[in-house]
Amino acid sequence: MPPDPDSGEQDGLGLLCVNCGWGVARLFVQYSPGNIRLMKCDNCKAVADPYIECEFMIIFIDLILHKTRAYRHLLYNMLHAKTSDIKGILLKSSLMFLILDAFRVSLVMKGDNSWDLLTSNMAFTRTCIKVLLDVLFGNFIFISVLWLAVRLLLKLKYDESRYKEIMLAILVSSYFKIFLLAMMIWEFPSSVVFIVDIFVLSSNTVAFSVITQLRTSTCIALFFTAHAAKFLASRWLQTVL
């Protein structure tokens, strides 16, 4: 359902002006294939979403630079066209998130020389189980902290669509984990894993701020707490297993 252009900044996945966050009815008018006119925002009078005419690489660079405009384009205007398939997007994003997180845990364990102790199939199986439990338990703690904070800060009652939108924002803003795959090709110190974690935290913060309209300082504190809880939970699990 298209947003009300007079309703101001939206709470859900609706069309927005990437500059001021004001709701817009449409982003462009298409006269013929390849011939479009970008619409202007009624609030700030600027082009509502200039990213429509940009290559994906330009958008990706602006996401890396943590530009709020790029995150508004991604979370509202780009995903808006696929809201009917948000469950499919969530499923694929969650699967990729868990796979990359499992790879991250395996890199941390490699740095701790955990893989060097594998002398049998039994030991290999046990280590794989540890990685799986670490990923599942750590992310359970991470999501639990976020959900609790969302309910307290936004005073949300159970709203499945709203929670899906917030969850999608968290998953897609964790794209920095992809850079860990470079460690399969080139040799990097294990500290790179924690540098990537810092970028994931900052990206999560920007995306969460955009999707909830909370203050940046509040989002930083929230995600620092959630990531710290996940780290401590993972460390505790490693000592127990």
**pLDDT tens digit sequence for 208-231:** 999 888 888 999 999 999 999 998
pLDDT on residue 221:
92
Taking only the tens place, the pLDDT of each residue in 63-105 is 999 999 999 999 888 876 455 567 788 888 899 999 999 888 8
- Indicate if the alpha-carbon torsion angle 182, 201, 88, 75 is positive or negative: negative
Phi and psi of 49, rounded to 5°? Answer: -150, 90
Helix H or strand E segment including 28: strand 28-32
Q: What is the rounded CA–CA span in Å between residue 119 and residue 221?
A: 43
Q: Give the Cα separation of 28 and 239 in Å (integer).
A: 56
Would you call 76 helix, strand, or coil by DSSP?
helix
Q: Which of 27, 177, 203, 23 lies closest to 107, judged by CA?
A: 177
Residue 239: what pLDDT? 81
Provide the β-strand partners of residue 38.
28
| Residue 107, CB-side half-sphere exposure with 13 Å CA sphere | 24
Asked if residues 25 and 43 have their Cβ atoms less than 8 Å apart, the reply is no
- 38: helix, coil or strand? strand
pLDDT of residue 229: 92
Nearest-angstrom CA–CA distance, 94 and 131:
17
> Which pLDDT value is given to residue 222?
92
The pTM of this model reads: 0.82
- The one-letter code for the residue type at 210 is V
Q: CB 75: neighbour CB atoms within 10 A? A: 21
Which segments of the chain have a pLDDT < 50?
1-12, 81
